[in-house]
Structure 1
């Protein structure tokens, strides 16, 4: 379900007696959700701090108590947007490391793609933030995007049991292709197109066989 600043937990009006930490955390969450929403509508360049404040319903003083600048706020919003992906990658990696059986291959890739693509569709504002607007921010933000890409490459290498340099390179190109195609569809607001990528991507890997990794042969659907 798409998030918006209006869906963030609002603090009670007037005297509420809530701990300072809870107040700050609530305000921060509202600001980060508002940042994603504002930039999804107006882009990074076209979004001012004033626009973020309007969406979040907080004061300028509150904003600058937590963030040095719009770019600093974007960095925090970016980390919030990609946290579910990091968590999912860590979960799959931990499961693979604790398993004594063979790598599962395409069935696990199918599950991962389904989760990933559905996540993008469920929260398009956050998806646009880390897939599209990140390129307008600067080199530091782009470096974060590259780091996420490398994590995805590592996930593919593990799931597909890529052992050779050629197989690892194939996983790199697959990750790059997924990133490029998904970004294009998010940029034009095509959620159905995003979800429709799962089957052709699986078929691409299936037909590639050992090009991508040994698990593709052993774990084919």
Structure 2
């Protein structure tokens, strides 16, 4: 169930602080933005569409956001937070992001578990995933800049997960993340969630091949290098 259809504010007086009311409205507006754009695309989505889907008034919208783009950027950040939250839950990490015992294997085992969880996290939140991967291209340079920053953070996390520290290995991680982005974007654009999940095995096998070929840099003493 989407957040836009959850927890309607009661009519009349209610015992909520202004900050709590704004938080609930922001959450509903972000969810509505993602839902409507999944159906109509960024360009065709209007503030009126978001208001109708969320049940929030126009006055309240402009108390929270300056524009449609401002709402989109907040929804984009929500999409990233949701993805990370789902991913941490699936790999058994705690609230501080510390991986659980299941992630204590060798680098290739860790990658397989994390990548499978990543694809499942994308499939669980299709509206936010579409916003995150596709509609961001239509939202302009500010949104694309935010996407580039997030992709760089994902690349760094991937390298850390694999224990890669040298420049050549980090570049290999960057290429894997960029290629994965292209593959998952097509599946999401086609609304093919099974196709999205099916990306996992061939990518995992390819990363294994690259790892054993030394594409991620020196592997002496690392588990899984033989």
For normalisation by structure 1, the TM-score amounts to 0.87
Mapped pair 1:219 → 2:213? no
Residue of structure 2 equivalent to 1:40 = 38
Residue of structure 2 equivalent to 1:50 = 48
**Shift in Å, 1:124:** 0.5
Residue of structure 1 equivalent to 2:155 = 153
Structure 2 CA distance for partners of 1:106 and 1:151, relative to 1, 3 Å: same
Residue from 100, 106, 111 that aligns with 1:109: 111
RMSD: 2.6
Structure 2 CA distance for partners of 1:211 and 1:11, relative to 1, 3 Å: same
Residue of structure 2 equivalent to 1:3 = 2
Residue from 204, 207, 213 that aligns with 2:206: 204
Given that residues 159 and 215 in structure 1 are in contact (C-alpha distance below 8 angstroms), is that contact kept between their aligned partners in structure 2?
Answer: no
More moved, 59-68 vs 9-18: 9-18
Structure 2 CA distance for partners of 1:216 and 1:187, relative to 1, 3 Å: farther
Residue of structure 2 equivalent to 1:26 = 24
Given that residues 83 and 122 in structure 2 are in contact (C-alpha distance below 8 angstroms), is that contact kept between their aligned partners in structure 1?
Answer: no
Give runs of aligned pairs for residues 32-111 of structure 1, distance below 5 A: 32-86=30-84, 95=98, 104-111=106-113
Give the distance between the partners of 1:94 and 1:14, measured in 2 at CA.
41
Unaligned stretches of 5+ residues in structure 2: none
Give the distance between the partners of 1:9 and 1:212, measured in 2 at CA.
48
Unaligned stretches of 5+ residues in structure 1: 97-101
The SS at the match of 2:7 is: coil
**Higher RCO, 1 or 2 (CA under 8 Å, sep at least 6)?**
1
Aligned residues: 213
Residue of structure 1 equivalent to 2:187 = 185
Give the distance between the partners of 2:221 and 2:172, measured in 1 at CA.
13
**Shift in Å, 1:84:** 3.3
Residue from 120, 123, 147 that aligns with 1:121: 123
